[in-house]
Amino acid sequence: MAFTEQQLEEMLSQYSPKVQKNRKKHMFVRDTSLEHQQIEANTRTIPGVITNRGCAFAGCKGVVLGPLKDMVHIVHGPVGCAFYTWGARRNKAKSEDPTQNFMNYCFSTDMQESDIVFGGEKKLAKVIDEVVEIFKPHAITVSATCPVGLIGDDINAVAKAAEERHGIPIMAFSCEGYKGVSQSAGHHIANNILMDRVIGAGDLEKAPGKFPINMLGEYNIGGDSWEIERVLKEIGYTIVSVMTGDGSYEELKNAHVAELNLVQCHRSINYIAEMLETKYGTPWLKVNFIGIQSTIESLRNMALYFNDPGLLQRTEEVIAREAAKAEKGLEQYRKICEGKTAFCFVGGSRGHHYQGLFAELGIETVLAGYEFAHRDDYEGRQVIPDIKLDADTKNIPELHVKQDERRFCLKLTPEKMAELKAKIPLSYYAGMSVEMKDGTVIVDDLNHFETELFIKLLQPDIFASGIKDKYVVQKMGIPAKQLHSYDYSGPYAGFGGAVNFARDVSMAFASPTWNFIVPPWKDQPLLNGAVNSEGVA
């Protein structure tokens, strides 16, 4: 059932004119007959509209830094920001040395009123000293929260002085929550400093194995990265680092030795991907390890890049074996899923990635969107030159890297690069919209009001989103699948992950619970007598 622009207009007419004008630009109905469909994205949130978005701090500390297991991540601020990013995102990690794994810890300077009044720099310095004394970490990050910027604490100076005192890297991230318009600003801030201070800080000049790669923008939610790595290692790749799921400072600092960077989540890590290419000459490849077909395609594209006969052969062998196994696993679930429809509204990449996996189960995605993606994630990277930075994002620093004189090396000849670019998404991402079908809806920064209306109009069979709307949707009698936390399941990536996902989605459809929503007394009349046709009392 195709949705029309007219229906969209009608829906939006319930807004006040000002809000209507704004929101109209953030959504469209897919029409493949048009050459290009533009969306507005990465602009400020309308106050009071009930957005799903978070802040720059969440994007920086919560998403990118938090998974780095051997670093202590100190949150400089009142207690909340540290508390809410303690164990709440399921970026799994394990460590050979458990005394250098801080994943289950939460560090806060717990700013008090006096710190707001007199400044919190001294307290931050003392907290760093204590952390070093107790934990002896390899490196420390310090993340700023809202009030830090306002009161003018110079966290860079504090970190620098502490670094000199203790002789370990201590990095400051000015990711105050009000910066930018969403989590996205935080990704950028984290990328800049990791590139500037960590990547390349290691001594390795050559990778410790063949076909060395980095996996960028993969946070190992529910073990995703481990499932992908299992297959990659079997094919013969050497994984230099993962940014940043189950990642570590020790790995990350040698990320410069890889010969190819894989980009899973484009939004959060494309900055580092670009900078790695500029600085070290390492191209990046957009991959998608969600869904069987996408995984196969990603593996083949990687093999094409390295173009080694043995690697190509092992790629096909592993694909044949793994795909057959996964296909067999999916079979039983297709019967349950076939013909159903889904909404897929997730942060900045999964809104796209999961559509293929849904399709493999026979589920059509009728609405998709992102909380905080930019136009390039919707429309493709070719629109980047047209994107105008507005006042809200202009203040996010841009890091400009140069060729590393010693280490820069072109991994491919320009001719080979051009040839490959025609075949595979090398240093390119085509965005979500191009793959969506006519009549489907694409929405940016979907809010609660629109969620309810779109559900009424499109009546999806399953709603894939996050924790804040999960129970809203379930109350309506519609299964809801969390695609941030995977509802505490996973992995969902790779071949094995596809089967786990199919099992969980099928369980959501098949649960007997949906049959009990209406109590029997709502269905049956109070008095249940047979009509006496004979007319005899």
Interacting residues with other proteins between 16 and 55 (CB under 8 A): 16, 19, 44-55
Q: Of the ranges 12-20, 202-210, 424-432, 493-501, which one interacts with other proteins (CB under 8 A)?
A: 12-20
Contacts 24+ apart (CB under 8 A), 283-287: 283/411, 283/412, 283/417, 283/426, 283/427, 284/216, 284/260, 284/426, 284/427, 285/260, 285/261, 285/424, 285/425, 285/426, 285/427, 286/425, 286/428, 286/429, 286/430, 287/262, 287/263
- Taking CB under 8 A as the criterion, the residue among 39, 74, 171, 424 binding other proteins is 74
What is the CA 437 to chain-centroid distance, rounded?
23
Min dist CB 201 to other proteins, Å, is 23
Q: Where in the sequence numbering do the catalytic residues fall?
A: 55, 58, 89, 187
Q: Are 210 and 238 in contact (CB under 8 A)?
A: yes
In sequence order, the 6+-apart residues with CB closer than 8 A to the CB of 314 are: 234, 235, 236
- Taking CB under 8 A as the criterion, the residue among 408, 428, 449, 509 binding other proteins is 449
CB nearer to other proteins: pick between 108 and 315: 108
Min dist CB 79 to other proteins, Å, is 5
- Taking CB under 8 A as the criterion, the residue among 25, 31, 80, 410 binding other proteins is 80
Does 150 interact with other proteins (rule: CB under 8 A)?
yes
Q: Are 347 and 334 in contact (CB under 8 A)?
A: no
Site string for other proteins, 452-481 (x = CB under 8 A): x--------------xxxxxxxxxxx----
Does 83 interact with other proteins (rule: CB under 8 A)?
yes
Distance CA 183, CA 23 (A): 20
Which one-letter amino acid corresponds to residue 469?
D
Q: Of the ranges 1-9, 34-42, 147-155, 523-531, which one interacts with other proteins (CB under 8 A)?
A: 147-155
Does 108 interact with other proteins (rule: CB under 8 A)?
yes
H-helix or E-strand spanning residue 209: none
Closest CA to 432 of 345, 527, 309: 345
Site string for other proteins, 386-415 (x = CB under 8 A): -----xx--x--------------------
Distance CA 409, CA 419 (A): 19
CB nearer to other proteins: pick between 43 and 278: 43
Q: Are 192 and 60 in contact (CB under 8 A)?
A: no
CB nearer to other proteins: pick between 111 and 213: 111
Distance CA 312, CA 302 (A): 9
Min dist CB 42 to other proteins, Å, is 12
CB nearer to other proteins: pick between 359 and 472: 472
Min dist CB 49 to other proteins, Å, is 6
Does 73 interact with other proteins (rule: CB under 8 A)?
no
Distance CA 143, CA 240 (A): 26
Three-class SS of 64-117: HHCCCCCEEEEEECCHHHHHHCCCCCCECCCCCCHHHCCCCCCEECCCCHHHHH
Helices (H), 178-280: 183-193, 224-235, 249-252, 266-280
CB nearer to other proteins: pick between 116 and 207: 116
Min dist CB 145 to other proteins, Å, is 7
CB nearer to other proteins: pick between 409 and 467: 467
Looking up tokens 């990265």 gives 225
- Taking CB under 8 A as the criterion, the residue among 151, 168, 201, 458 binding other proteins is 151
Min dist CB 50 to other proteins, Å, is 5
CB nearer to other proteins: pick between 313 and 459: 459
Does 106 interact with other proteins (rule: CB under 8 A)?
yes
